[in-house]
Structure 1
Amino acid sequence: MTLSQRLFLRILPTLIITIVLVGLFAYRSADREIENIYDAELINDANTLWVLLHRPLAKNNDRPVIQIPDLDFNMDDQLSLNEDADDYADAHAFRAWKGGHIVMVSSNSFPESVPEFKRGFSNYKLNGEAWRVYALPVPDSGVTIEVAEKMALRDGLVANIILNLSFPLMILVPAIAALVWFVINNGLSHIQGLVRQIRSRTPDDLSPIPTVDLPRDLIPLVGSLNQFMEKLRISLTLERRFADLAAHQLRTPQAGIKLLLQLIERSDSEDERQALMKDLTASNDRAMHLIEQMLNLARVSHQPLSLDQTNLFDLVAKVLADFGRVFNDRHLQVALSGDEEAVVATDSTLLRMMIDNIIDNAIKYSPDGGMIEVAIARQDAGWSVSVNDSGPGIPVEHRDMVFQQFYRLPTTEREGTGLGLAIAAAIASRLSVEIGLGVPEWGYGLRMDLIVPERRKI
């Protein structure tokens, strides 16, 4: 179901209910007003009859009942002017009482068996027909004037009013429905145009969607789409660049392994073969390390976060313990200090991978017998982990570039994948960790400060 249809099906019932409520209100209002008007007319009729008949009624003591003939017999010419007038004439009747006896009646009035009505308004049913009766006792005369009217007259008038009102409403509902449908489609035309524009784009077209002539309500939506496409464009660019660099980086160790295999095949002595096998193993280890780093970098951006309470001191201690053999082989002096109760809410797996790459980088560039110190200290919104090494350090002009993928310092003699700090930067971005580069207190080497928040920032 389209958005236009959903809106239409939600708005139209509301309009129909509103029209029905208006019709009910009009019915109640018309019924009340007609009741008031016709009751007032009965009062006027009773007073008018008394004014016209008070002389005959005053003289009529023992005379027989005077019956007023029906208009049908005396006013045919007048009633012929309006066919409905006869129905209205038959709907009215009157009686005049004097001294407890009927002295004057209309031809269609109640029989004498119907007793005199009390003063004011009364409802009476005769032969299945409901009547509205008004009784007017005339003071100091003993005369009571009764004027009666069929309730069907009032009900018919109300029904005619409602019927005459229903026809326009029945015509109005389809007209309003068509107007609502037109307004909805016209109002959603910009959205439909936006959808067509997005559908017509090729997968490579991530240019911003123009916001000119768009309604003000749609500008934030289009702005969000443009921001999303810009992030997607940057992500795709980085992935393509990563794929190109990875293909280039993997080609070198593979070519070296192939060359070593060819040399082993052509070697003449066992000693030469053993030396080549040693080089082959080292080359294969470098290739495996490169592949592992590339997989880690790819996994960092897609791995779902699993936040838990992590003790920083214990985590760093475990990372250092994993490098224990390397420390011994290269006679490195390693120290860990700081608060042993430093706890943060973060993804311990990713945080450990980041610290692991930073420690590995410090080991790689520190000379044999050098120093590596790790200090944990309290910060305003979290904890700092400072990793200090005694290597050559990173010049200030290169510090913004060392976190790029496959970037290596032009002056370094160490072999590396160029992915360690890139992985650390990617993890830091996901865990809201701030990374700063500097120089240790002893004046040379590299100091890397990690500011880990107590809770990951959303």
Structure 2
Amino acid sequence: MTSLRIRLFLLVAAATAIVWALAAAWTVLSARADVERVLDRRLQEAAMMVASLGYDTQQTSDAAQSGAASVALPSYDRQLSCQIWSVGGQLLGASQGAPGAAMSDGEAGFSERMIAGNAWRVYTHVSPENGLRVMVGDTIAMRSRLITDLMRGLIVPATIGLLALALLLWIGIGQGLSPIRRIAAEIGDRSPEDQSPLVVDRVPDELSPLTREIDELFARIALLRDGERRFLASAAHEMQTPLAGLKTHAEIALRTEDENARRKSLERIRQSVDRTTRLVRQLLDLAKERSARVPATEASASLGDAFDEVIEELEHLVAERNASVQISQAARDFVAPLPRNSLVIALRNLIENALLHGPANSEVRVDSDGTGFCVRDAGPGLSDSASRAMLEPFTRDPGSKAPGSGLGLSIVSSALAPAMRLHFERIASGYRVCVLPAETQAPSEEVAIDASEFA
């Protein structure tokens, strides 16, 4: 069931029907008891009224012995039957329609008896003065019919009222859900470029959290799209610079007849190609990490295996910088809670940054304390403000002269999230960037590493 209106209607209607059924059952039982009590009281009052008429016992007895007909009592209520019996068991009088047999066994009080196939409810009054027994009764069928008519008079209007209430509930729930339809219409009428807050009149308090979350979602989407626009503009600018250099130096190489100038132009072309290749690779890495990420709880990778793969890829850069890259045994044994591809991307960018921004003929080290790993170099490193700023794409260190697009650290941060994070630290021998679990405190001091641990 997907309709909220139908679901609410059925819930409210079911609750109302249950309450109504319980109330109806209580009304029927209570009314039945009240009717039975009223009818019994009527029998009792009728019997006492007949007894108070003061019939002459001797006269009626003589009339009965002489063969005269019994005294006919006035029919004051056609629903009741009355008999008057003497102490000797003679029928002294009866109402019209009363049965011929005695209606009770003569004991005072209420009793029920089958007479000619009909069940009777009878009250017997015994007069203390003359011993007359006045029996007044009505049939159980008449009582049941009276109670049934009374219940019908109560239940039929209540049922009609219940149906009318169901109709009103259906209309009322529809009106109550109208703010949701207005919100849906407001969202549906928007253009894809419109991320402004919703404008919906008379929003109930219960829907205010929904509209607030939608507005916050629009705000986040607006920030994301703005970031994408800046990213694309920066990427286009970064791509345009080496491509323009390529074209310029290619034209120089084609037109010049000076061998030295041609060689320099070709060298510049090679550098531009390397820069463009690195930029394209970084853009692809960043797009890959932002578009698809395996949850950290479902992935792990060996840092040693990732290191071997990265060193093979960066072999030309290591040779060009005349540097050495070493890894300790603890780092080689470390297993990161990251997908292998994400670990390779993060480690490659960290080592590449260390090689490019550190001095030539220096050493880059990768070590671990068992909770994370660090990449050390002998370079000057970054200031605290610069390290935070460079987590954004296309942000460079203003004090660095090394080539780059400003994507490296943002790629690393994206590849590590959400399981791990970056920590930057200036140390005595240079600078190190550590990759730590997201909830782990940053190391407070440099840990001494035995050179024999590195291979």
TM-score between both structures, scaled by the size of structure 1? 0.79
Cα distance change, pair 315–54 in 1 and its aligned pair in 2 (3 A): farther
Counterpart of 2:437? 452
| Aligned equivalents of 1:265, 1:328: Cα separation in 2 | 30
SS in 1 for 2:27: helix
| Aligned equivalents of 1:57, 1:453: Cα separation in 2 | 115
| 1:358-382 deviation line (CA, Å, top 9, x unaligned) | 122112222332121223225xxxx
SS in 2 for 1:364: helix
Q: Give the letter for the 2:323 counterpart.
A: L
SS in 2 for 1:386: strand
Counterpart of 1:12? 13
Q: Give the letter for the 2:42 counterpart.
A: E
| Aligned equivalents of 2:117, 2:198: Cα separation in 1 | 77
1:310 to 275, 297, 300: 300
Counterpart of 2:235? 246
Superposed, 1:19-98 pairs within 5 Å as 19-52=20-53, 55-56=56-57, 60=61, 63=65, 67-69=70-72, 71=74, 89-97=77-85, 98=87
SS in 2 for 1:60: helix
Q: Give the letter for the 2:420 counterpart.
A: V
1:169 to 127, 145, 158: 158
Counterpart of 1:232? 221
Greater Cα shift, 10-19 or 266-275: 266-275
1:398 is displaced (CA, Å) by 2.4
Counterpart of 1:336? 327
1:56 is displaced (CA, Å) by 2.2
1:377 to 369, 373, 384: 369
| Aligned equivalents of 1:243, 1:100: Cα separation in 2 | 118
Counterpart of 2:347? 355
1:36 is displaced (CA, Å) by 1.7
Q: Give the letter for the 2:376 counterpart.
A: N
Asked whether 1:131 is paired with 2:120, we answer: yes
| Aligned equivalents of 2:228, 2:102: Cα separation in 1 | 106
TM-score between both structures, scaled by the size of structure 2? 0.79
| Aligned equivalents of 1:215, 1:115: Cα separation in 2 | 71
Alignment: residue pair count: 433
Does the aligned pair in 2 maintain the 1:257–1:280 contact within 8 Å? yes
Cα distance change, pair 57–257 in 1 and its aligned pair in 2 (3 A): farther
Does the aligned pair in 1 maintain the 2:310–2:344 contact within 8 Å? no
SS in 2 for 1:431: coil
Does the aligned pair in 2 maintain the 1:362–1:389 contact within 8 Å? yes
1:153 is displaced (CA, Å) by 3.4
1:423 to 387, 390, 411: 411
Counterpart of 2:275? 286
Asked whether 1:184 is paired with 2:173, we answer: yes
Q: Give the letter for the 2:27 counterpart.
A: A
| Aligned equivalents of 1:126, 1:265: Cα separation in 2 | 133
Counterpart of 2:184? 195
Cα distance change, pair 159–402 in 1 and its aligned pair in 2 (3 A): same
1:43 is displaced (CA, Å) by 2.8
Does the aligned pair in 2 maintain the 1:343–1:454 contact within 8 Å? no
Greater Cα shift, 275-284 or 247-256: 275-284
Counterpart of 1:102? 91
Does the aligned pair in 1 maintain the 2:50–2:134 contact within 8 Å? yes
2:402 to 395, 411, 414: 414
Cα distance change, pair 440–170 in 1 and its aligned pair in 2 (3 A): same
Greater Cα shift, 5-14 or 225-234: 5-14
1:111 is displaced (CA, Å) by 2.0
Q: Give the letter for the 1:224 counterpart.
A: E
Q: Give the letter for the 1:45 counterpart.
A: A
| Aligned equivalents of 1:66, 1:277: Cα separation in 2 | 148
1:186 is displaced (CA, Å) by 4.2
1:35 is displaced (CA, Å) by 0.9
Asked whether 1:433 is paired with 2:420, we answer: yes
SS in 2 for 1:417: coil
Does the aligned pair in 1 maintain the 2:300–2:336 contact within 8 Å? yes
SS in 2 for 1:393: coil
Does the aligned pair in 1 maintain the 2:331–2:366 contact within 8 Å? no
SS in 2 for 1:107: coil
SS in 2 for 1:439: strand
Cα distance change, pair 125–90 in 1 and its aligned pair in 2 (3 A): farther
Task: Give the percent of matched residue pairs that are identical in Structure 1 and Structure 2.
Answer: 24
Q: Give the letter for the 1:334 counterpart.
A: V
1:298 is displaced (CA, Å) by 1.6
Q: Once superposed, what is the RMSD of the aligned Cα atoms?
A: 3.8
Does the aligned pair in 1 maintain the 2:103–2:137 contact within 8 Å? no
Cα distance change, pair 409–57 in 1 and its aligned pair in 2 (3 A): farther
| 1:34-87 deviation line (CA, Å, top 9, x unaligned) | 012212322333344344457527973763586443646xx8xxxxxxxxxxxx
Cα distance change, pair 261–101 in 1 and its aligned pair in 2 (3 A): farther
| 1:145-180 deviation line (CA, Å, top 9, x unaligned) | 322102343333323333332454245235434543
